Amino acid sequence: MNSSADRIRFDELSAGRVLGDLAHDELRELDKLIAELGENPDPSFELLAAMIEVDAVTESPEEIPSHLMTRLDRLATDLATPVSRQIIHAHVPAWKRLAVHPLTGWAAAAAILISSFVLTRKEPSTAPAVAQLQLRKQAADLLERNFQGIGEFEKAGGTVIWSDQAQQGYMTLTGLPVNDPRKAQYQLWVVDPTRDADAPVDGGVFDIPTDGSPVVIPIAAKLALTKPQAFVITLEQPGGVVKSKQEKVVALAKG
């Protein structure tokens, strides 16, 4: 394809992604074009789609259920004020064993942390492998841990990096078996000592599409994290779970 045809196809696929209609092979094609053309899709497509859809939804509003509003109010409180928790004894479940004593002066630390990341946070705009390198170069507070495979997953390994300030992190994983996303998906959990030790933060669901070569997975934490104490990968049902039963713990990384 010449560059003009590439450009037209690039726009078509960029628009298709925003419309949510890209097939698997088209996603790969778009990825290839991004690399070849050296630029990201025009964000105008996504802005346009959002404007049109917001307009449509606003014209026909659907009332939000009251119990959901109650949940969201609790979420707002949780986001604003991380709660320190008690520890952890040898006989309790793995999440608890991995956690540590609450930080001294956590409230002040959390307040500083939140305000600083609101001011400095930036989202990655490139592929995970590149974004990971950028984070390694730029983050002054980078935390790095090694993954150790557990039980039948003993060949699993890799590293995880995390920056509290950027609220970004990446896993580079090797040796994890390829999963069939229709049957099971990997899920990352992050043990944050400033949060409930019984409920590690969901770090996102991911797949291992190919055997052998290292795969870089961005961490998609559902809540802000403060000095994560441990990272745990489990195998869960497709789409992941809200709370893991830890029936299949794949790998663990801790300090």
Footprint (CB under 8 A) of other proteins, residues 55-74: 55-65, 68-69, 71-73
Near other proteins in 162-201, by CB under 8 A: 167, 181-182, 185
> Are 108 and 82 within 8 A, CB to CB?
no
Half-sphere exposure of 81 (CA within 13 A, CB side): 4
**Residue type for position 95:** W
Tokens of 44: 């105008």
Binding window for other proteins (CB under 8 A); candidates: 96-104, 135-143, 149-157, 218-226: 218-226
Count of residues binding other proteins (CB under 8 A)?
A: 86
- Indicate whether 17 belongs to the interface with other proteins (CB under 8 A): yes
Binding window for other proteins (CB under 8 A); candidates: 36-44, 86-94, 100-108, 149-157: 36-44
For residues 221 and 189, give the distance between their C-alpha atoms in angstroms, rounded to a whole number: 8
Binding window for other proteins (CB under 8 A); candidates: 16-24, 155-163, 227-235, 244-252: 16-24
> Are 206 and 185 within 8 A, CB to CB?
yes
Give the contact letters, 104-143, x = binds to other proteins (CB under 8 A), - = no.
-------------xxxxxxxxxxxx--x------------
Q: State which H helix or E strand residue 162 sits in.
A: strand 157-163
Nearest approach, Cβ of 109 to other proteins (angstroms)? 18
| Residue of 1, 37, 79, 92 interacting with other proteins (CB under 8 A) | 79
Residue 230, helix vs strand vs coil? strand
Q: State which H helix or E strand residue 94 sits in.
A: helix 94-98
